[in-house]
Amino acid sequence: MEDKLEKSRSTVRKYMYWSIGAGFIPVPFLDFAAITGVQVKMLADTGKIYDIPFSRNRVKNLVAALIGGALPGPLAFGAFGSTVKMVPIVGPIFGGISVPLMAGATTYAVGTVFIQHFESGGTFLDFDPEKMKDHFRREFEKGKTVAQEMTGKKSDPKVPVTAT
């Protein structure tokens, strides 16, 4: 039988694909709502692996606090990437490249940070987004590479992919 750590890592990878797909939604801010929903569902499934009680509203707030606290600048740029989808011709191209990669990277970071927390005996009730933001930033950087590999997109290393 697959151990909890491997099963939870597999869950994160599955939901990264879903997040990347949600990033292609052409409607501004609907993509963000879908990505958030995917991340919350990922954490519900990961919580089940560790037998941790799940509260949708609490987890939604934790995810928002974690991402917003760790990546405020890139978060604003991600909102710009979603909004720019409204610009004819170039908008869907720019948004269709940047938002899916951001979605995959943030989903990876959210998942790996919570896995570490659960592995150390934590729950959703004692998760502190403020204490985890540096770890989240490091995992987000790794997540950019993983998301690029998953999508087959190689970006210029000088051009950062930003967060949702």
Tens-place pLDDT, residues 106-148: 999 999 999 999 999 999 999 999 999 999 999 999 998 999 8
Summarize pLDDT for 3-33 with one digit per residue, the tens.
999 999 999 999 999 999 998 888 777 888 9
Summarize pLDDT for 47-72 with one digit per residue, the tens.
999 999 999 999 999 999 998 877 65
Summarize pLDDT for 67-107 with one digit per residue, the tens.
887 765 555 445 545 555 555 555 555 555 678 888 999 99
In whole angstroms, what is the distance from residue 69 CA to residue 100 CA?
21
Q: Contacts from 134-138 at CB under 8 Å and sequence distance 24+?
A: 134/70, 136/66, 136/67, 136/70, 136/71, 136/109, 136/110, 137/70, 137/71, 137/109
The predicted model scores a pTM of 0.82
Helix pair 72-83, 90-119: axis angle to 10 deg = 140
Per-residue model confidence (pLDDT) at position 36: 93
